[in-house]
Structure 1
Amino acid sequence: MGFPNSTFEAVIRAGLGVPDSTELPFDAPLTEFGLDSLGSVNLVLDLELGFGVTIPDTALLRPHFYSAETLWQALAEILTGTGPA
């Protein structure tokens, strides 16, 4: 599965410093592309700005940052109102 949203992909790529010319599998571990704890915080801030939402602390769980796919699942729940408030 590829990225379901171009804004999401752009934020992830920018946050990881991965150019469009480099393959970034949706299910690849983000740590393989250099994601660390500070990078996770920055990704959250960038996703909040990019999508106009506030990501609650209850959604900031380590497993959500495993891959772009798991992060998208958490964000999609927030966007649809089915995730933590």
Structure 2
Amino acid sequence: MLPSCCCASPRGDRGVQREPLRCAPGVEIWGVIMWDGRFEILLRAQLPFLSREDELVDDLPLRDFGLDSLGMIQLLNVLESEYELWFGEEFLRTETFQTPSSLWEAISKMTSGRLM
């Protein structure tokens, strides 16, 4: 049985029964960056096409699950408030908001690892 984090999983193991693995945010397991529970809750609130049963995986295309330009701005504002950070010009790109992993990586860089 493969271990997984409560908030992300390795690619390719969908459908495999897993036991939860407690992990610290920012820890990399199987090449996947794990995020904290707050991040998943805030992100899911902006993904109308992602059901509760769907797993939020690191490479999920956010646009395909309903993250539009208005949702990006709302998410940006909530993330800035929740994590006490500011999205500088270098992070205000569509690439930042492509996947949960790319977004969490930007947050980790902005916080200089203080979330770990």
Instruction: Establish whether residue 7 from structure 1 lines up as the match of residue 38 from structure 2.
Output: yes
The secondary structure found in structure 2 opposite 1:64 is helix
C-alpha deviation, 1:58, in angstroms? 2.5
**TM-score, structure 1 length as denominator?**
0.81
Instruction: Write the letter of the residue equivalent to 1:27.
Output: D
Which structure 1 residue ranges, 4+ long, deviate > 3 Å from structure 2? Answer: 17-20
Q: Which structure dedicates a bigger proportion of its chain to strand? A: 2
Structure 1: distance between partners of 2:60 and 2:83: 23
Query: Shift of residue 23 of structure 1?
Result: 2.0
Task: Tell whether the 8 Å contact from 1:15 to 1:43 is kept in structure 2 after alignment.
Answer: yes
TM-score using structure 2 length: 0.62
Aligned position for 2:109: 77
Matches within 5 A, 1:1-85: 2=8, 3-17=34-48, 18=50, 20-80=52-112
Equivalent pair of 2:59/2:100 in contact (CA under 8 Å): yes
**1:4 partner letter:** W
TM superposition shift of 1:43: 0.8
Number of aligned residue pairs: give it: 81
- Counterpart amino acid of 1:70? S
Question: Which one has more relative contact order, counting CA pairs under 8 Å at least 6 apart?
Answer: 1
User: How far apart, CA to CA, are the structure 1 residues paired with 2:87 and 2:79?
Assistant: 8
Bigger radius of gyration, 1 or 2? 2
Question: What stretches of structure 2 of length at least 5 have no aligned partner?
Answer: 9-33
Q: d(CA) in 2 for partners of 1:19 and 1:46? A: 21
